[in-house]
């Protein structure tokens, strides 16, 4: 059987995945709006762009949430590091005076 679009079972799964992806994109957009505001605030308050203590706490908390929700903890750690790397990149650019 070929992976055509007339497979209703696959189409139903994919419709749910597409809905979840739309939610993920919108949540990530909102998350970066807040972290950019944090970046501007840190620049004004003369705080360092990165905060290893905070990142450690976030990681520990998200590991617990991942366990509760059945998300692979290794993936969760990779995911939060991936997002935080983007945030630190934004904060450094904001600290250098870029408008984000």
Chain residues binding a second copy by CB under 8 A are 1-3, 7, 9-10, 13-14, 16-18, 20-35, 37-38, 41-42, 45-48, 51, 53-54, 58, 61-62, 65-66, 69-72, 75-76, 78-80, 82, 86
CB of 93 to a second copy, least distance (A): 12
Nearer to a second copy, 32 or 95 (CB): 32
CB of 57 to a second copy, least distance (A): 9
CB of 97 to a second copy, least distance (A): 19
Token readout for 32 is 């970066």
CB of 68 to a second copy, least distance (A): 9
Distance of CA 32 to the CA centre of its chain: 8
Distance (Å, rounded) from C-alpha 6 to C-alpha 23? 25
The CB density around residue 82, as the number of other CB atoms within 10 Å, is 9
Nearer to a second copy, 75 or 96 (CB): 75
For 29-60, give one letter per residue: b (16+ CB within 10 A) or e.
eeebeebbebbeebeeeeeebebeeeeeeebe
């Amino acid at each position: 059987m070929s992976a055509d679009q007339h497979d209703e079972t696959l189409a139903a799964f994919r419709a749910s995945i597409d809905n979840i992806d739309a939610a993920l994109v919108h949540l990530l957009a909102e998350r970066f709006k807040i972290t950019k505001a944090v970046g501007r605030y840190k620049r004004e308050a003369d705080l360092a762009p990165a905060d290893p203590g905070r990142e450690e706490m976030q990681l520990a908390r998200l590991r617990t949430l991942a366990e509760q929700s059945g998300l692979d903890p290794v993936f969760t750690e990779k995911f939060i590091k991936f997002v935080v790397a983007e945030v630190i990149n934004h904060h450094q650019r904001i600290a250098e005076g870029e408008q984000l």
